[in-house]
């Protein structure tokens, strides 16, 4: 192929093309580029709502959990978004930096998934089953209680206390969990029993 | 209390504005929309802001961005700057007021101002990568973005950031997806003290008036609204206690405008440049047509041959 | 003085017509790499320069790739041109006759070269193109680095970047203008392009346009080879 | 809180002291900004640091941590001196006129009856003169030099503005400005609200900090009114509920107390409770104590609790010490006296003082069980994490079982907020992996234990075998079932005591409220103060009606507020002696000639006549107490005591170190720095940041982004003195441990001048550990002293001594 000719032709075309588009650029034409949708589709469409309260501080802001799937229909529900509940008189839909990021708590990589046990002296946890874990806890509790239960004090007064095992409740569990916990713990005679309100 | 933003609906609703409401489109022209939507605005009352960063976390959650866990750099700003994954940032500045001798901790939520005359859009070379709706929202369309970073240079507020992952520019969208279904932006909904409120621009100006009156009553004689005319006004406005000194708030520009350099680049240079090139090409063409090519004549060849021969004699 | 205008392996080959070596293979490859880079840069740069030319980004597979490749081609151009600069800078030093030549540019444009003084390897117009290219490429690469967002945005302020953008745009317009002169001249002055393709010109071409250079070549010891044509 | 979050909108002056509401409770703080914006309310912040609350305040006054009582008594002194007292309120609604026994004294920082060896008081002199009629002697003219008012006047006289400046480091002009603004609220038409939290509780005199402010609020007439009150912001979402339900060593639900071993039977137990009125006509509501107690025992033990066995009184353990609080528990553990420990979502390793002691204590356990949604440090106390948890796993013989529990998003139930609202929530997501609800876990433990006792017998199995367990699925009780149990049920028909024909509840039905409780075993009720939360009208905690007539912020139809859906406690005090609102614009309830009514549920019998029955119905006096008799361990009035670790010697009582009645364990005293220590010259304090919630949110990537790394805050002056660069690294150490941190050098902390000495403050936030998404870091509990408040044993986290130096970088 004759390079010189082809180059010449190309250069001439380019020159003409340039002149032509310069006119275009000065306002004598318009380029139609493909339009792309600017606005994201609304991500809460077709999700299921559940009313909840923020588990962090005691302002107890109302939040709405948005999920794919409906627990109330017996489905698996995956929470996809959490935001403030505007109907709530205290927070009126607002949330603090913790509340706004609640989804990250629900889905934290460090959420526990299964019961684990760490044997004495071991340097890591091993998986166990609920069955084994509860059995082990109950067994050790009973053994310790039977061994250390104080039925009467030195003065012969019935005291029925157990102080070699302790229970520490938190302060983000529900009142219902709290009361059931109270029943289970106190019925054993445990006195070393406290909750986060202490600190 | 300013009416809070209602809970979102989970039923599918059609967006209230779309392509047909564009008033500007980068590197292209759009037909004027039939009628302009009511202008919206976000008002940030710095005097009510407690710097809690709820706006930042709500923004991350809503926009599904993934900023990295950084380090502490001896300041409260985290991340240290806006990033492609952090569209808004609380900036903190400690200022000792020389008039009162009191410390003031001036905390400003930084982010896109949604200028009426957007410098980013002006600078953008990619058709349709930046659009402006008639309600005032300036939005980036990532499918069209080429990642050149011209928007950063165009922006008087230094807002857009280019992603190192997909090489497109990111900034606050004013939650266009929420506004499109009648919601307010995620940050405004989250803001615990309603330091951020959202509504029509007129409402926001009115609301600001009330706030400024309150601030003046508390001794802030220079309290005022930041809605800079240099960029045609903004759709994100501030109430400042010291409106006479916006620079105190981590360098909020006092009289922002699109840089004259950018104006020159996108104005005169663009047109003059192409004209010069067009003319140059045209002159060449014309010269060729009139004068024709400059050819070597047979005489020239003979002269050359003669020269070569004579020289051989000389040197022989 | 004369040595500047004569590349060591340039030679005159007697014959009919006489042929004169003008560019070595290396110089030609170097030139065409530079030329290709410059053209690609102009095309990709224009795509980013003006919306109506954005369609040119299609030549590069779209805006994203245009944005990506443009600065890299710039780097290629810079080093490639640097090679040309090393080769040719001496031959482009300004000489007395260049002033006269320039003063009589009208005659040149009117194809009346007989009225201008004899010039060496390059005439004043070519020297202008050479030095303009040199200066503009330095300006373009340095301003280009400042606005190469992907790697260098952190090293300058936005204010500096804005200056760089404007400078880059103006310099780019200028260099395209220079290029138009260069390319047009090559077209207009017939016989020039083969010099950069085959490496040689005819004796008549040299006599007509660069007589002084031809004389120097002829008088240069070993300036003439046998009758073998240049390969 | 005596009031609610939404009530703060009604205030004229907010005093944030001992808290940092804007940072720790941003959405509640909204109502402060609303009051400011809509009512022109003012905000005062008193804090060692210029906090984010201070950033929106009208007045900020610095204070040295641990000196709040001096500041507050200084305010009381100012108000009394300048006659800025709501005199009618004080006379009618406080014990100002009550005459105190001869023998009560306060001298050299000590009240009468101090026993240095026991670090305790004989409190017998701290009481009223009792008249021949059996009632307390009262001088309504306040002339008697031994009446509470005059004793108080004398007690606070030493706290002059100069003394406040000397102790607290608060410049006198700032203090006086605060005092002027506070004093204005003595007007019946002005209300001030106090918002406080752990900045007041986490001191060796935390309870007295709060009392001091409560006393100020009483003399200003701000208790019971809209926009007033003592508002504990509180920490966790259900810290109020867990306390209400009594999950503490010495408590039964509803603030009933566990018997001690000096109370062998129910009668002995009741003899010190069920208080008789100290003045004629008073309600003295604790007279109903027996009804609450018996109903609780019926809820616990059902048919096993009978009149014959004192309603299973012996099933309850009897205390030999005031309580096995966490500090005592870990001290016992440290001595090897505790074998098993179960943590239900409480990160003990990070939360308790002197981490080294906590690690050593946990290492002595046989078994540690942790139930938590997240991977806590406590469950991994045996794991080596370099300097952040420098232990040798092989040397730790504790078996650890970690049980995954659900989080809020995965269970139904109620939480009680700081405004006492019980709010129901609904699950929205499926639990991850094998995570189980706490209710399931606790049921499983109980059933397994019961099975073992049934099969094997053992030590006193009766309470376990007879624990009332009335759930449809015994292995998995539902939240609704338990909520109904808490509310209470009629076991037999319950009728009105005044009108036996009127049936309050048929047998088997849910009780309408605690007024229907009986002490004969015919009712059961898990937690009397919650009664009414889930009755025959339905689950009142789940109510979502936002109706709020006249926008008072009461929201009576939203959820349920204990007690009896009351939103403002002591709201009878919002009206004057005749039952008319002190401030007509701020009416809560008023007497219409026959009964009390208004925007809230009256906190008094609806027909109790205004002149006769006092507004503080839980007190046998019927009035509030400026002088608290023998009810506090460390004195009937607050007095300034320095923290146990203090940069100066107590200026008002140089010979008293710390709170003289605070309990200090053997060995811990040796680990305190001396007062005005040269070795540990800087006053440190610990606190939360708004970006994080305790040790949870470091597991949340977004929050880790917001505040990624442990740091300490110091003044520019201290940084210059020590050569510490902004963004540099520092080592901070106390007598108990050492941490490495990034330095945040700020103008927001300024050195104070106290007792003529420059006191530098070191601020230490608390959110980091060695698990989660944030950078690994230290907790302030590496440094904090092992001592608690004299009354409730909350650890002294807010004031201790450290030293600081620049270092080149973190030790690996």
Assigned domain for A36 exists = no
Flag whether pLDDT at D80 surpasses 90. yes
* Chain C CB contacts of B146 below 8 Å: 48, 57, 62-64, 66-67
B71 labeled part of a ligand binding site:
no
Q: What is the pLDDT of residues D426-474, one digit of tens each?
A: 999 999 999 999 999 999 999 999 999 999 999 999 999 999 999 999 9
CA distance D338 to D329: 8
Of A3, A11, A25, the CB nearest to C53: A25
| Residue A33 located in a structural domain | no
The C-alpha atoms of residue A41 and residue B180 are separated, in whole angstroms, by 9
Q: Residue window 23-82, chain D: list those with CB within 8 Å of chain A.
A: 24-28, 30
B299 and B164 in one domain?
A: no
Q: Do D705 and B102 touch (CB under 8 A)?
A: no
CA distance to B40, C216, D673, per residue, from D759 (Å): 51, 90, 16
The burial of D538, by beta-carbon neighbours within 10 Å (0-12 exposed, 13-18 middle, 19 or more buried), is given as: exposed
State the residue range of the domain holding B160: 19-258
Q: Are strands D256-257 and D106-107 parallel, antiparallel or unpaired?
A: unpaired
Please provide the average confidence, as pLDDT, over all residues in chain A.
Answer: 86
Cβ-based neighbour number of residue D120 at 10 Å = 16
Chain C contact for B125 (CB, 8 A cutoff)? yes
Tell me which DSSP letter residue C92 carries.
Answer: G
| Beta carbons of D746 and D158 less than 8 angstroms apart | no
Q: Is B116 annotated as a binding residue?
A: no
Superfamily (CATH) of domain C25-88+123-198: Transmembrane di-heme cytochromes, Chain C (1.20.950.20)
Q: Which of C50, C51, C183 sits opposite A11 (nearest CB)?
A: C183
pLDDT value at position C179? 95
Beta carbons of C212 and C113 less than 8 angstroms apart? no
Which residues make Cβ contacts (< 8 Å) with residue C56, sequence separation at least 6?
A: C43, C44, C46, C47, C66
Contact D37 B214 (CB under 8 A): yes
**What integer pLDDT is reported at residue D255 of this predicted model?**
97
Q: How confident is the model at residue B312 (pLDDT cuts 50, 70, 90)?
A: low
- Contact at CB, B149 and C110, closer than 8 angstroms: no
Burial class (CB in 10 A: 0-12, 13-18, 19+), D812: exposed
Are the C-beta atoms of residues D199 and D19 closer than 8 Å to each other?
A: yes
Q: Is residue A19 part of a domain?
A: no
End-to-end CA distance of chain D: 45
Whether the complex's predicted ipTM surpasses the cut of 0.90? yes
From the centroid of its chain, how far is CA B279?
A: 34
pLDDT at C11: 82
Model confidence at D313: pLDDT above 90: yes
Burial D696-720 (b: 16+ CB within 10 A, else e): bbbbbbbbbbbbbbbbbbbbbebbe
Strand partners for D752:
D759
pLDDT score at B70:
96
Helix pair C158-188, C25-49: axis angle to 10 deg:
130
Query: What digits encode the pLDDT tens for the residues A114-129?
Result: 999 999 999 999 999 9
Answer whether B304 sits within 8 Å of C68, measured CB to CB.
no
8 Å CB contact of B67 and D705: yes
Which residues, in sequence order, are bridge partners of residue D622? D616
In this prediction, what percent of chain B has a pLDDT beyond 70?
Answer: 98
Are C224 and B270 a contacting pair at CB < 8 A?
no
| Number of domains making up chain A | 3
Q: Coil, strand, or helix at residue B288?
A: helix
A residues 79-98 closer than 8 Å to C (CB): none
Average pLDDT for residues B35-44, to the nearest whole number? 95
**Of the candidate ranges B230-239, C208-217, D66-75, D711-720, the one whose mean pLDDT is the lowest:** C208-217
pLDDT of amino acid B5: 93
Average pLDDT, chain D: 97
Give the chain B residue nearest D40 (alpha carbons). Answer: B214
Q: Give the Å distances, CA to CA, from A97 to B54, B58, D703.
A: 4, 7, 7
pLDDT of residue A4: 38
Q: What pLDDT score was predicted for residue D235? A: 87
Could D36 and B214 be called an inter-chain contact, meaning their C-beta atoms sit closer than 8 Å? yes
pLDDT at D359 over 70: yes
Residues of A in contact with B69 (CB under 8 A): none
* Single pTM value for the model: 0.93
Q: What angle do CA D630, D633, D637 make, to 5 degrees?
A: 65
**CB of A193 closer than 8 Å to CB of A166:** yes
With a cut of 60, say whether residue D423 has pLDDT above it. yes
Q: Say which CATH architecture domain D669-807 belongs to.
A: Beta Barrel (2.40)
| Residue A21 placed within a domain | no
Supply the pLDDT for residue A15.
40
- At D274, the pLDDT band (50, 70, 90 cuts) reads confident
The answer as to whether B129 is a domain residue is yes
Residues 6+ apart with CB under 8 A from D706: A97, A101, B53, B56, B57, B78, D691, D692
CB contact under 8 A, D24 and A145: no
Residue B9 lies in a domain: no
Q: How far is CA A24 from CA B27, B277, B282, D770, in A?
A: 13, 13, 15, 63
Asked whether the bond before D529 is cis by omega within 30 degrees of 0, the reply is: no
Lowest mean pLDDT segment, chosen from A94-98, C72-76, C197-201: C197-201
First-to-final CA distance of chain C: 28
Please tell me whether residues B142 and B278 are part of one structural domain: no
Window from B22-36, B208-222, C125-139, D183-197 with minimum mean pLDDT: B22-36
Domain boundaries, chain D: 5-232, 669-807
The answer on pLDDT for D569 being more than 90 is yes
The sign one gets for the Cα dihedral D486, D491, D492, D497 is negative
CA C143, C144, C146, C147 dihedral sign is positive
Contacts of A105 in chain D (CB under 8 A): 407, 696-697, 699-700
pLDDT digits (tens, 9 = 90+) for C88-125: 999 999 988 899 889 988 888 888 888 888 889 999 99
CATH superfamily, domain at D5-232:
Dimethylsulfoxide Reductase, domain 2 (3.40.228.10)
pLDDT over 70, % of chain D: 100
Q: What Å distances lie between residue A49 and A80, A99, C73, CA to CA? A: 10, 17, 54
* Burial classification of residue D176, based on how many CB atoms lie within 10 Å of its CB (0-12 exposed, 13-18 middle, 19 or more buried): middle
| pLDDT in the model for residue D796 | 96
* Residue B157 falls inside a structural domain: yes
Q: Where are the alpha helices (DSSP H) in chain B?
A: 54-63, 119-123, 150-154, 176-179, 186-190, 201-217, 260-264, 270-291, 298-315
Q: Residue C219: pLDDT band by 50, 70, 90 thresholds? A: confident
For A152-199, write each residue's pLDDT tens digit: 999 999 999 999 999 999 889 999 999 999 999 999 999 999 998 888
CB-CB contact of D273 with D289 (8 Å)? yes
Residue A25 has pLDDT above 80, yes or no: no
Gyration radius of chain D over CA positions: 26
Domain boundary among B224, B258, B292: B258
Could you report the per-residue pLDDT of D332-345, keeping only the tens digit for each? 999 999 999 999 98
Domain match, B142 and B207 both: yes
| Beta-bridge partners for D570 | none
pLDDT digits (tens, 9 = 90+) for D525-561: 999 999 999 999 999 999 999 999 999 999 999 999 9
pLDDT band at B217 (very low <50, low <70, confident <90, very high): very high
A138 touches chain C (CB under 8 A): no
**D702/B contact by beta carbon, under 8 A:** yes
A179 assigned to some structural domain: yes
CA–CA dist D170, D133 (Å, integer)? 48
Q: What is the pLDDT of residue C220?
A: 75
Residue from the list A46, A85, A100 with its beta carbon closest to the beta carbon of B61:
A100
pLDDT per residue as tens digits for the range D116-128: 999 999 999 999 9
- The predicted pLDDT at position A196 comes to 84
Q: Taking residues B131-157, what's their average pLDDT?
A: 96
Nearest to C51 among B127, B147, B311 (CB): B127
Lowest mean pLDDT among A19-28, B285-294, D104-113, D150-159: A19-28
B290 part of contact set with chain D, CB < 8 Å: no
With CB atoms and an 8 Å threshold, state whether C14 touches B312. Answer: yes
**Closest residue, chain C, to B128 (C-alpha):** C51
B129 and B30 belong to one structural domain = yes
Question: What whole-number distance in Å separates Cα of residue B60 and Cα of residue B64?
Answer: 6
- Whether residue A1 has pLDDT greater than 70: no
Residue D499, C-beta contacts closer than 8 angstroms, at least 6 positions apart:
none
Compute the C-alpha angle A42/A44/A50, nearest 5°.
165
What pLDDT sits at residue B33?
87
Q: Is residue B286 part of a domain?
A: yes
CA D375 to chain centre: 27
Helical residues (DSSP H) of chain C, grouped into ranges = 25-49, 63-88, 96-103, 105-109, 124-146, 149-152, 158-188, 193-197, 203-209, 211-219
The pairing of strands B40-45 and B236-240 is parallel
Look up the domain containing A174 and give its range: 149-199
Per the CB < 8 A criterion, the answer to whether B2 and B197 are in contact is yes
CA D485, D489, D491, D496 dihedral sign is positive
**Candidates B29, B61, B275, B293, partner chain A, best to mutate (most A CBs within 10 A):** B61
CB contact set of D376 (below 8 Å; sequence gap of 6+): D343, D347, D349, D350, D370, D695, D771
DSSP tag of D57: -
Pairing type for strands D494-495 and D503-505 reads antiparallel
Pick the catalytic residue: C13, C182, C209, C210?
C182
Q: According to the model, what pLDDT value does residue C8 have?
A: 67
Grouping H, G, I as helix, E, B as strand and the rest as coil, residue D136 is strand
Q: Which chains touch A (3 or more CB pairs under 8 A)?
A: B, C, D
B278 is in an annotated binding site: no
What does the pLDDT read at residue C224? 57
| Long-range contacts, stretch D639-642, CB < 8 angstroms, 24+ apart | D639/D69, D639/D73, D639/D106, D639/D109, D639/D111, D639/D155, D639/D208, D640/D67, D640/D69, D640/D70, D640/D73, D640/D159, D640/D167, D641/D69, D641/D109, D641/D204, D641/D205, D642/D66, D642/D67, D642/D675
Backbone angles phi, psi at D408, to 5 degrees: -50, -35
Shared-domain flag, residues A188 and A159:
yes
Residue A96 sits in the same domain as residue A123 = no
- pLDDT, average across residues D69-92: 97
Q: Is the pLDDT of residue D62 over 50?
A: yes
Angstrom CA distances, D791 to D206, D512, D794, D806, stand at 8, 35, 8, 39
- D80 CB contacts (<8 Å, ≥6 apart)? D152, D153, D156, D219
Secondary structure class of A29 (helix, strand, coil): coil
Residue A164, phi then psi, degrees to nearest 5: -100, 0
Q: A82 and A123: one domain?
A: no
Residue among B155, B287, B296 minimizing CB distance to C208: B296
* φ, ψ of residue D231 in degrees (nearest 5): -115, 95
Identify whether C17 is preceded by a cis peptide bond (ω within 30 of 0). yes
Active site (annotated) includes residue C31: no
């Amino acid at each position: 192929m004759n390079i010189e000719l082809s180059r010449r032709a190309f250069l001439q075309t380019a020159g003409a093309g340039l002149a032509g588009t310069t006119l275009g650029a000065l306002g004598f034409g318009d380029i139609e580029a493909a339009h792309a949708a600017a606005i994201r589709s609304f991500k809460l469409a077709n999700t299921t709502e559940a009313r909840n309260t923020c588990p962090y501080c005691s302002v107890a802001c109302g939040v709405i959990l948005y999920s794919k799937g409906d627990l109330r229909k017996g489905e698996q529900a995956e929470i996809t978004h959490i935001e403030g509940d505007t109907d709530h008189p205290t927070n009126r839909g607002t949330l603090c930096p913790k509340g706004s990021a609640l989804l990250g708590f629900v889905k934290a990589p460090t959420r526990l998934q299964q019961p684990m046990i760490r044997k004495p002296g071991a340097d890591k946890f091993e998986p166990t089953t609920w069955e084994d874990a509860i059995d082990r806890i109950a067994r050790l509790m009973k053994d310790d209680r039977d061994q250390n239960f104080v039925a009467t004090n030195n003065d012969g007064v019935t005291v029925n206390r157990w102080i070699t095992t302790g229970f520490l409740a938190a302060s983000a569990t529900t009142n219902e969990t709290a009361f059931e916990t109270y029943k289970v713990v106190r019925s054993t005679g445990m006195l070393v029993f406290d909750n986060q309100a202490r600190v | 209390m300013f009416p809070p933003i209602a809970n979102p609906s989970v039923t599918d609703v059609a967006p209230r504005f779309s392509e047909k409401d564009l008033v500007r489109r980068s590197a292209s022209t759009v037909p004027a929309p039939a009628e302009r939507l009511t202008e919206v605005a976000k008002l940030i009352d710095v005097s009510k802001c407690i710097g809690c960063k709820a706006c930042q976390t709500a923004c991350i959650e809503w926009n599904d961005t993934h900023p990295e866990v950084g380090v502490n750099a001896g300041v409260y700003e985290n991340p240290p700057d806006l990033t492609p994954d952090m569209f808004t940032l609380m900036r903190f500045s400690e200022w000792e007021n020389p008039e009162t001798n009191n410390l003031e901790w001036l905390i400003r939520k930084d982010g896109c101002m949604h200028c009426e005359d957007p410098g980013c859009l002006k600078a953008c070379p990619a058709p349709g990568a930046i659009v402006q709706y008639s309600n005032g929202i300036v939005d980036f369309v990532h499918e069209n973005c080429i990642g050149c970073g011209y928007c950063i240079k165009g922006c008087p507020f230094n807002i857009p950031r280019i992603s190192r992952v997909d090489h497109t520019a990111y900034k606050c969208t004013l939650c266009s997806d929420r506004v499109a279904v009648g919601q307010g932006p995620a940050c405004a909904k989250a803001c615990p003290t309603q330091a951020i409120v959202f509504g029509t621009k007129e409402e926001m100006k009115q609301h600001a008036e009330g706030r400024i009156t309150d601030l003046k009553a508390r001794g802030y004689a220079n309290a005022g609204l930041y809605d800079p005319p240099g960029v045609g006004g903004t759709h994100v406005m501030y109430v400042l206690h010291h409106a006479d000194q916006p620079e105190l708030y981590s360098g909020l520009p006092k009289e922002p405008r699109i840089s004259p350099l950018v104006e020159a680049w996108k104005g005169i240079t663009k047109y003059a440049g192409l004209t010069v090139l067009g003319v140059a090409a045209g002159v060449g063409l014309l010269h060729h047509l009139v004068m024709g090519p400059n050819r070597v004549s047979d005489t020239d060849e003979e002269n050359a041959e003669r020269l070569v021969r004579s020289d051989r004699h000389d040197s022989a | 003085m004369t040595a500047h205008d004569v590349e060591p392996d340039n030679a005159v080959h007697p014959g009919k017509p006489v042929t004169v070596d003008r560019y070595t293979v290396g110089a030609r490859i170097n030139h065409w790499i530079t030329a290709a880079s410059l053209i690609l840069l102009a095309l990709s740069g224009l795509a980013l320069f003006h919306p109506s030319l954005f369609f040119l980004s299609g030549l590069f597979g779209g805006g994203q790739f245009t944005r990506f490749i443009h600065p890299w081609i710039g780097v290629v151009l810079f080093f490639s041109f640097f090679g040309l600069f090393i080769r040719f800078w001496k031959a482009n030093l300004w000489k007395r006759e260049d002033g006269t030549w320039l003063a009589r540019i009208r005659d040149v444009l009117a194809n009346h070269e007989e009225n201008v003084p004899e010039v060496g390897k390059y005439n004043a117009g070519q020297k202008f193109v050479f030095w303009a290219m040199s200066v503009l490429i330095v300006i373009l690469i340095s301003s280009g680095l400042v606005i190469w967002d992907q790697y260098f945005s952190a090293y300058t302020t936005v204010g500096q970047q804005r200056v760089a953008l404007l400078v880059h745009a103006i310099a780019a317009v200028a260099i395209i203008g220079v290029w138009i002169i260069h390319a047009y001249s090559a077209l207009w002055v017939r016989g020039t392009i083969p010099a950069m393709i085959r490496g040689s010109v005819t004796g008549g071409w040299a006599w007509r346009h660069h007589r002084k250079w031809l004389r120097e070549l002829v008088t240069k010891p070993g300036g003439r080879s046998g009758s073998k044509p240049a390969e | 809180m005596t009031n609610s979050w939404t009530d703060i909108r009604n205030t004229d002056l907010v005093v944030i002291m001992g808290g940092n509401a804007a940072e720790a409770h941003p959405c509640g703080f909204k109502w402060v900004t609303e009051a400011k914006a809509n009512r022109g309310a003012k905000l005062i912040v008193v804090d060692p640091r210029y906090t984010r609350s201070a950033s929106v305040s009208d007045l900020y006054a610095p204070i040295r941590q641990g000196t709040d009582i001096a500041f507050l008594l200084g305010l009381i002194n100012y108000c009394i001196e300048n006659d800025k007292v709501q005199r009618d309120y004080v006379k009618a609604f406080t014990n100002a006129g009550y005459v105190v026994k001869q023998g009560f004294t306060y001298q050299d920082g000590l009240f009468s009856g101090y026993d240095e060896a026991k670090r305790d008081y004989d409190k017998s002199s701290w009481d009223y003169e009792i008249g021949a009629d059996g009632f307390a002697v009262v001088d309504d003219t306040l002339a008697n030099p031994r009446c509470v008012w005059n004793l108080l006047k004398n007690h606070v006289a030493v706290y002059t503005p100069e003394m406040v400046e000397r102790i607290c480091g608060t410049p006198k002009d700032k203090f006086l400005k605060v005092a002027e603004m506070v004093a204005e609220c003595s007007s019946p038409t002005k209300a001030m609200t106090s918002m406080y939290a752990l900045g007041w509780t986490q001191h060796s005199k935390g309870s007295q900090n709060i009392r001091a402010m409560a006393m100020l609020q009483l003399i200003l007439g701000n208790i019971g009114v809209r926009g007033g009150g003592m508002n504990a912001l509180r920490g966790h979402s259900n810290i109020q509920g867990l306390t209400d339900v009594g999950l503490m060593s010495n408590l039964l639900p509803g603030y009933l107390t566990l018997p001690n071993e000096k109370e062998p039977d129910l009668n002995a137990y009741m003899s010190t409770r069920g208080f008789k009125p100290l003045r004629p006509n008073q309600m003295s509501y604790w007279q109903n104590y027996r009804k609450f107690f018996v109903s609780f025992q019926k809820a616990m033990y059902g048919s096993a609790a009978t009149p014959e066995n004192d309603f299973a009184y012996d099933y309850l353990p009897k205390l030999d010490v005031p309580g096995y609080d966490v500090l005592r528990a870990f001290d016992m553990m440290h001595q090897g006296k505790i074998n098993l420990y179960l943590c239900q979502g409480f990160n003990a390793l990070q939360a308790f003082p002197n981490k080294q002691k906590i690690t050593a204590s946990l290492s002595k356990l046989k078994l540690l069980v942790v139930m938590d949604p997240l991977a806590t440090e406590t469950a991994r106390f045996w794991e080596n994490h370099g300097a952040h948890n420098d232990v040798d796993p092989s040397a730790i013989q504790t078996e650890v079982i970690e049980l995954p529990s659900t989080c809020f998003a995965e269970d139904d139930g109620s939480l009680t907020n700081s405004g006492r609202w019980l709010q129901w929530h609904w699950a929205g997501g499926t639990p991850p992996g094998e995570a189980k609800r706490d209710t399931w876990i606790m049921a499983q433990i109980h059933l397994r234990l019961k099975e073992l006792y049934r099969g094997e017998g053992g030590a006193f199995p009766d309470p376990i075998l007879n624990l009332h367990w009335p759930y449809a699925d015994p292995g998995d009780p539902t939240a609704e079932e338990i909520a109904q149990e808490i509310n209470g049920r009629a076991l037999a028909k319950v009728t009105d005591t005044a009108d036996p024909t009127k049936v309050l509840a048929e047998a088997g039905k849910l009780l309408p409220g605690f007024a229907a409780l009986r002490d004969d075993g015919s009712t059961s009720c898990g937690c009397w103060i919650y009664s009414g939360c889930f009755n025959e009208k339905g689950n009142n905690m789940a109510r979502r009606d936002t109706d709020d007539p006249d926008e008072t912020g009461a929201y009576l139809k939203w959820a349920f507020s204990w007690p009896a859906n009351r939103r403002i406690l002591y709201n009878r005090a919002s009206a004057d002696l005749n039952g008319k609102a002190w401030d007509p614009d701020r009416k809560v309830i008023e007497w219409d000639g026959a009964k009390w009514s208004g925007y809230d549920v009256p906190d008094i019998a609806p027909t109790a006549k205004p002149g006769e029955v006092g507004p503080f119905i839980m007190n046998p006096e019927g009035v509030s107490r400026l002088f608290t008799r023998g009810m506090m361990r460390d004195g009937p009035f607050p007095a300034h005591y320095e923290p146990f670790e203090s940069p100066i010697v107590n200026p008002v009582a140089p010979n008293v170190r710390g709170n003289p009645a605070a309990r200090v364990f053997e060995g811990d005293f040796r680990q305190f720095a001396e007062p005005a220590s040269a070795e540990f010259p800087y006053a440190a304090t610990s606190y939360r940041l708004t970006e994080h919630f305790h040790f949870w949110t470091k597991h949340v990537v977004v929050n880790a982004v917001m505040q990624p790394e442990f740091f300490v805050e110091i003044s520019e002056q201290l940084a210059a003195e020590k050569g510490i660069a902004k963004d540099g690294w520092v080592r901070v150490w106390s007598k108990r441990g050492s941490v490495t941190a990034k330095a945040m050098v700020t103008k927001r902390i300024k050195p104070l001048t106290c007792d003529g000495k420059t006191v530098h403050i070191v601020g230490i936030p608390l959110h980091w550990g060695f698990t989660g998404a944030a950078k690994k870091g230290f907790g302030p509990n590496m440094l904090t002293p092992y001592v608690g408040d004299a009354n409730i044993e909350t650890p002294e986290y807010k004031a201790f001594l450290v030293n600081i130096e620049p270092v080149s970088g973190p030790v690996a």
